[in-house]
Amino acid sequence: MTSKFNNKITKVHWQPLTKLLEPSGKKQQTLHGFDDEFIDIVDYIIRITHRIWEQKNVGLCYQYYSDICPVFTLGGYFECVEQVVQGTLKTIAAFPDRSLIGENVIWKEEEEDKTYYSSHLITSIMTNTGNSDFGLATNKTGRVTTIADCVCFENKIIKEWLVRDNSFLIAQLGIDLIDAAIQFAKIIPNDTFNSWYSDEFDRVRQTEHRIPLTFTDKNWTVENFVHSWAQTIFNQKQFSTLTDFYHVAAAHQWPGGRKSTGLAQISGTLIQWLAQCPDAKMTIDHIGVVGFDKDTIDIALRWSVAGTYSPHVERLATLKGNNFFVLGCSHLRVRDQKIIKEVTVFDEISLYANIIRDSGVSLPLLQKGA
Amino acid sequence: MFNNLIELYTRGDIAQLSSNILHSSSWKQHDFTAYGNMQIEKLWLKSLEQFGFFTLSKKQTVQGKEFSALYFELKNDEANQSVSITFFLEHNNIYIKRLHCIVDTVRLAQLLNLTPEQVIAELPSPDPLFLSQFDHQMHPQSYHARPSDICDMPKDIDQVITQWWSIWQEKHLASFEKIYHTDAQVNIAGFGSNQGYQALRQFQLKLHNRMNRNYCQLEQLCVDEQQNTIAIQWHIDGDYLENDTIKRIRLPITSIIRLENNLIVDEQLQVDWLALCKGFNLSYPFV
């Protein structure tokens, strides 16, 4: 299954950090314009992340980000390296011991424009000792999953989509999700964000969701599989077909602490989540795939979901009918054409914050100091 | 690797086990997942304070390929009390990637001469779980994991383990007398050791009757063909009834089984009851 992949590129899974930071292998990719020290794109991503975040060399963003680098998140849009530096510094100040544990890097060489696309799955452990966008310092330690999708060109990141499981983080910090969303909603996004958000919403809504997209054993390709996954499960809501996509004991991690194993639980997670946006449409916006071991591949997806919000909690009842839009990323581990492990990340706080801001409704906070 | 785990608790050998841990390794204990050296080491130090440096009194290993498991008991000879611990780990024989450790915290409380409430207060906060509602029914054409879906194993072991799983997932209680030796040693965390399956059957009934709409799900399984030992990582989701309130909960379990002549002669059913109470704000005892 994985023979067609370049299996000489760095694989993070079983590597100790010391080896990742001092790679001894030969250069495996051309990496035109990149510093000579990097042997492949995975090495580049792992080492620059470590230098910027764990060694706190925030200023290295000037070296590894282009001056103009659009960064898309569901919570806002940043464009220049100065904003990346300032945002990084602000986060490190609020979470000074933040560690970035690289779990996986799934990559793709884009032949058309000579760029590399990387999807970096990160687990962070961090203690909230300073005030942050979430509210006052809680002095609690939390864990959060992030996926950073980057376009890399000549030693610099030139475009990024960043998703973080903020709802899981604040659950550990003891902050209420809706309170955090109300706070986030007060942050006024720039015009570029508003325009991107609106354009993306319209684009995804145009998806033709009634066309069957299926695959057989004979025409199984990663592209067929993931487009069928999006169309059949998310767009057509045919949950009995989960068995075509997931192993019967697949491990499934979704934002906010949704952890499921097996078809019944995964089905429950997806039904409950989609019920708040019953007309949801999904598009697959980028696919990357690498070999994991001889029988297994890793797929990175960037996707969008758009629809109409149908609140599932009384506190948000007044927001019914507003636009619902999600920028999400998933890492799928696939063996024998079935997903055995999925990690999906998006920012639930920003999802609700955008709905609240769009509605213009003023909602009360539950907690003091939130 | 098994020795390194044992030496951690019996000799405090942190350095040796640290050499098996990656920057990206995770260690789940008391339903809290620690990542990275700092968090993992903190868990080890707390365990050493509570039950370190005692004598190894019982051990069972399950050496699989990608996954392995270890069960042992540590005895405080002076107090004549012991505590049991299971480890279910994903590894490559050099490094541990993921490990789930379950401590019998009820026995730990007895060992430390503390009340369950005192032990609960000392446990780390479990990972917050968002349990979505789902259809728990075994519809005729729905698919539910069976042991052979997860792990290849010899036919005779598969037959016993499939029947064992049917006891939990499908409530086939009649299978007890088919697959257990009459003198089987069965240890249920928090309930002690028993000869024969009767106590386990009673426990199974009590557990299911305390949880409505319950559903058993296999997570991972490993088989040691040389020793005829099997480790199963699984959990039960259900509606727990307490004081007229319903709480949706998840109960993680590791079962370690040893077979002789296609009969279960030894079984450890390991649950961290006090972590469950802390995570879902339940009162002890659970059943």
B92, B94, B134: residue with CB nearest A265: B134
Distance from CA of A73 to the nearest CA of B (A): 24
For chain B, where are the alpha helices, taking DSSP H only?
Answer: 2-11, 14-18, 36-51, 105-112, 116-122, 147-150, 155-169, 175-179, 198-210, 273-280
Q: Do B69 and B176 fall within a single domain?
A: no
Q: Are A227 and A306 in contact (CB under 8 A)?
A: no
For residue B134, being part of any structural domain is answered with no
Predicted pLDDT of residue A351: 98
Q: Domain with A80 in it: what CATH number?
A: 3.10.450.50
Q: Which of A196, A231, A260 is the last residue of a domain?
A: A196
Mean pLDDT in residue range B114-129: 96
* 8 Å CB contact of B33 and A15: no
Is B217–A272 a contact, with Cβ atoms under 8 angstroms apart?
no
A238-246 long-range contacts, CB within 8 A, separation 24+: A239/A267, A239/A270, A239/A271, A240/B141, A240/B142, A242/A266, A242/A267, A242/A270, A243/B143, A245/A338, A245/A339, A246/A338, A246/A339, A246/A342
Do B35 and A125 make contact, defined as CB atoms within 8 angstroms? Answer: yes
Asked if residue A24 and residue A147 are part of one domain, the reply reads yes
Distance CA B105, CA B72 (A): 14
pLDDT at res. A332: 98
Q: Which domain holds residue A308?
A: 204-359
The count of CB pairs under 8 A between chains A and B is 105
Among candidates B36, B130, B217 on the partner chain, residue whose Cβ is nearest the Cβ of A256:
B130
Is the distance from CB of B106 to CB of B271 less than 8 angstroms? no
Tens of pLDDT, residues B127-138? 999 999 998 888
Q: Which of B129, B133, B146 sits opposite A268 (nearest CB)?
A: B133
Q: Using CB atoms, which residue from A261, A263, A265 is nearest to B143?
A: A263
Give B220's contacts in chain A (Cβ within 8 Å).
Answer: 249
The verdict on a CB contact (< 8 Å) between A249 and B128 is no
B153 token code pair: 């194993």
Q: Which residues of B touch A251 (CB under 8 A)?
A: 219
Q: Which two tokens stand for residue B197?
A: 């399956």
Kindly report the CATH number assigned to the domain that includes residue B275: 3.10.450.50
For residue B285, give the DSSP letter. Answer: P
pLDDT digits (tens, 9 = 90+) for A117-172: 999 999 999 999 998 888 889 999 999 999 999 999 999 999 999 999 999 999 99
The rounded distance, in Å, linking the Cα atoms of B123 and B276 is 11
Residues B154 and B105 in one domain: no
Of A148, A166, A196, the domain-final residue: A196
What is the per-residue burial (b if ≥16 Cβ within 10 Å, else e) of A95-122? Answer: beebbbbbbbbbbbeeeeeebbbbbbbb
Count how many domains chain B has: 2
Tell me the chain B residues in contact with residue A121 when contact means C-beta distances shorter than 8 Å: none
Q: Do A258 and B130 touch (CB under 8 A)?
A: yes
* Residue that the structure tokens 């806002």 belong to: A76
Give the pairing of strands A76-80 and A99-110. unpaired
| Predicted pLDDT of residue A80 | 84
Q: In the predicted model, what is the mean pLDDT of chain B?
A: 95
Task: Quote the pLDDT of residue A89.
Answer: 87
pLDDT for B190 equals: 95
If asked whether residues B165 and B266 sit together in one domain, one would say: yes
Chain A CB contacts of B23 under 8 Å are 16-17, 20, 101-102
Q: Which domain holds residue B240?
A: 147-280
B53-112 pLDDT tens trace:
999 999 999 999 999 999 999 999 888 899 999 999 999 999 999 999 999 999 999 999
Asked if residues B107 and B120 have their Cβ atoms less than 8 Å apart, the reply is no
Q: How many angstroms separate the CA of residue A169 from the nearest CA in chain B?
A: 9
User: Nearest residue on chain A to B235, judged by CA atoms?
Assistant: A261
Do A257 and A164 belong together in one domain? no
Same domain for A237 and A157: no
Residue A39, min C-alpha distance to chain B (Å): 21
- Residues A176 and A278 placed together within one structural domain of the fold: no
Give the total number of structural domains in chain A: 2
Which residues of A lie inside 8 Å of B (Cβ-Cβ)? 12-17, 20, 99, 101-103, 123, 125, 141, 143, 168, 171-172, 240, 243, 247-249, 251, 256-265, 267-269, 271-273
As given in the structure block, the two tokens for residue B275 are 């972590």
How much is the pLDDT for B127?
Answer: 97
Parts of chain A with a pLDDT under 50: 370
pLDDT of residue A370: 46
Model pLDDT for residues A32-83, shown as the tens digit of each residue: 999 999 999 999 999 999 999 888 888 898 999 999 999 999 999 998 888 8
- Pair (B63, B175) in one structural domain: no
Indicate which of B19, B23, B40, B129 best probes the interface with A, i.e. most A CBs within 10 Å of its own CB.
B23
pLDDT at B150 over 80: yes
* End-of-domain residue from the set A196, A231, A256: A196
Residue of A nearest to B19 (CA): A16
Interface of B to A at Cβ within 8 Å reads: 22-24, 26, 33, 35-36, 38-39, 92, 94-95, 97, 125, 127-130, 132-136, 141-146, 149-150, 215, 217-220, 235, 237
Residue A187 lies in a domain: yes
Residues in chain B: 287
Backbone angles phi, psi at B89, to 5 degrees: -130, 145
Same domain, A117 and A258: no
- Average confidence (pLDDT) over B203-215: 94
**Tens of pLDDT along B212-269?**
999 999 999 999 999 999 999 999 999 998 888 899 999 999 999 999 999 999 999 9
